[in-house]
Structure 1
Amino acid sequence: METETETGRRHFIITGTSKGIGLQLAKLLLAKGDYVYGISRGRSDLLESSEEWSGRYSHVQYDLADLTGIDDLVTRLLDEIPSQEADCIGLINNAAMLEPLRPIDQCSAAEISQSLNISLAAPMILSSSFIQQTNHLSARRKIVNVSSGSASYPAPSMAVYCTSKAGMNMFTQCVSLEQTGRQSSVEIIAFDPGMVDTELQAVARGKSAEEFALAGMFNQVYEAGQLRSPRDVAMQLIERMDAQSDASHVIHTMES
């Protein structure tokens, strides 16, 4: 009997596929036989140039800080998906911006706006457009919002990032309530990957103690080998994504 991955009828739109967790998610899903549609500001050469993924990976260079074009972006990507034949269509909101890492009175309006647009407003608009444009489909629909422990733990010089992740968690819960009871509902979950060895972590470690009060803590965690690999986190996210989950509860990587 053929499985869902063997038939190749699962399609996933993933933001931030040029590096980190997004890149590993794309590679693992492609290895399963799924189709992936990546979005990032830069190219995703490792995925685009691989003959192994030929015909199953499509990439769009797009800056998610530009909110005005997101509806058209979703339309463009969904047009590539043979939706009537798909068993599952998913949206994984992974892209985020860590900076500015400074006290809020030292952050400019432009910096705050860009960070919140990428980390919170863009996922909200992507989700809204994704739901609206797939409501007519019978395929299973799933949205995964990549969260953070920073959503629950306030930290100095991280007001913008912490706020965006807290907003992502609340957004997930609200949309889940909206979908409850619908005939063809969208499953939505928030997933906290924990502390992962990504470029965001490297940025935090590279700050001086004067510029970012928690730089020392980030360095200590890195030197102690306590960061998880993006691949391990991506594997766990995929495992949990297929399960029915309570959206009122953020999924953490350390959960069994």
Structure 2
Amino acid sequence: MERGHFVITGTSKGIGEQLAALLLDLGHRVYGIARGASERLQSYGNYVHRTFDLNDITAIESLIEGIVNEVNINNSKIFCLINNAAMLEPLKPIDRCTATEIQQHLQISLAAPMVLTSSFIRYTQDMDIRRKIINITSGSGTYPAPGMSAYCTAKAGINMFTQCVGAEQANHARPVEIIAVDPGMVETGLQAAARGKDEQDFGMGKYFKQAYEAGQVQPVESLGRHLLKIIENEFSPGRLVHYADMEP
């Protein structure tokens, strides 16, 4: 893969941390956005961390503007935004969800990626470089699940948002290659949290446990290598890419 610059949200753990490490090992420059820092990533000289709470969506534009202004695209082939950060909670029937819980979930899991995308496209539009946006989605954006209304709704929104922006970009001379990637079931903190919920509160918890016990949950390391191939390959703007669509 040609050298490039990557902005990744949610790099303190899970998919974001693993993908960032793989990119850093290949010599790319990574800008990580997360509330907490990763000791693993801090050891890389080509890693830049931005401590930021994505709940503060009104400050995202200036954050992205600052990062873009730091980027030197000389001898680089790609500038990529990866919207990975998301919330899982609240995991309970909607009538037990508070307004604050719903607002926070949608701010971080849907509104923040929308503003990040908007800002990234705006501030990179004059760059003569391949630009790509990857929105991490989920099968939950297609298949409804009881007790997961906020999460499913946010992921369905990510899917539709990706397709809409893809349609906007399709006729541009130098379109931004925006795609949504469904990684399947991955062993992250979100998965562990879902398995650990009381089944009386979250009936879907048993299905998460069954999938884990059946070996259907892939390690984050395997997904990271797969995502490298998805980054390298080109897709039409607005495409929804499933893990099974490509061999790693």
Matched with 2:139 is: 149
Residue identity over aligned pairs, in percent, reads: 51
What is the alpha-carbon distance in structure 1 between the residues aligned to residue 29 and residue 21 of structure 2? Answer: 10
* 1:124-151 deviations in Å (ceiling 9; x for gaps): 0000000000101111100000010000
Is the counterpart of residue 58 in structure 1 residue 48 in structure 2? yes
Greater mean alpha carbon deviation, residues 232-241 or residues 127-136: 232-241
2:232 to 233, 236, 242: 242
Matched with 1:18 is: 12
* 1:159-211 deviations in Å (ceiling 9; x for gaps): 00000000001000100110112122101111000000000001111111111
What is the alpha-carbon distance in structure 2 between the residues aligned to residue 251 and residue 182 of structure 1? Answer: 21
Q: Which amino acid aligns with 1:35?
A: R
Is the counterpart of residue 4 in structure 1 residue 16 in structure 2? no
What is the alpha-carbon distance in structure 2 between the residues aligned to residue 38 and residue 248 of structure 1? Answer: 24
After superposition, the Cα gap between the structure-2 partners of 1:248 and 1:4, relative to the gap in structure 1 and judged at 3 Å, is closer
Is the counterpart of residue 215 in structure 1 residue 201 in structure 2? no
What is the alpha-carbon distance in structure 1 between the residues aligned to residue 126 and residue 74 of structure 2? Answer: 10
What is the alpha-carbon distance in structure 1 between the residues aligned to residue 198 and residue 51 of structure 2? Answer: 32
* Equivalenced residues, count: 246
1:183 to 173, 189, 199: 173
1:252 to 235, 238, 242: 242
Matches within 5 A, 1:70-85: 70-85=60-75
* 1:29-73 deviations in Å (ceiling 9; x for gaps): 11111110001111122111x1xx21x100011110111110011
Q: Which amino acid aligns with 1:42?
A: G
The gaps in structure 2 that reach 5 residues or longer are none
Is the counterpart of residue 35 in structure 1 residue 32 in structure 2? no
What is the alpha-carbon distance in structure 2 between the residues aligned to residue 175 and residue 84 of structure 1? Answer: 27
Secondary structure at the aligned position of 1:250 is classed as strand
Q: Is the 8 A contact 2:83 2:133 kept in 1?
A: yes
What is the alpha-carbon distance in structure 1 between the residues aligned to residue 27 and residue 157 of structure 2? Answer: 33
TM-score by length of 2: 0.96
Residue 231 of structure 1 deviates from its aligned partner by 1.4
Matched with 1:161 is: 151
Residue 103 of structure 1 deviates from its aligned partner by 0.5
Q: Is the 8 A contact 2:176 2:237 kept in 1?
A: no
What is the alpha-carbon distance in structure 1 between the residues aligned to residue 37 and residue 238 of structure 2? Answer: 35
The gaps in structure 1 that reach 5 residues or longer are none
1:44 to 35, 38, 46: 38
Is the counterpart of residue 87 in structure 1 residue 72 in structure 2? no
Q: Which amino acid aligns with 2:12?
A: S
Q: Is the 8 A contact 2:166 2:239 kept in 1?
A: no
Secondary structure at the aligned position of 2:226 is classed as helix
TM-score by length of 1: 0.93
What is the alpha-carbon distance in structure 2 between the residues aligned to residue 157 and residue 102 of structure 1? Answer: 4
What is the alpha-carbon distance in structure 2 between the residues aligned to residue 188 and residue 177 of structure 1? Answer: 10
What is the alpha-carbon distance in structure 1 between the residues aligned to residue 23 and residue 238 of structure 2? Answer: 26
What is the alpha-carbon distance in structure 1 between the residues aligned to residue 92 and residue 232 of structure 2? Answer: 38
What is the alpha-carbon distance in structure 2 between the residues aligned to residue 133 and residue 255 of structure 1? Answer: 31
What is the alpha-carbon distance in structure 1 between the residues aligned to residue 114 and residue 23 of structure 2? Answer: 23
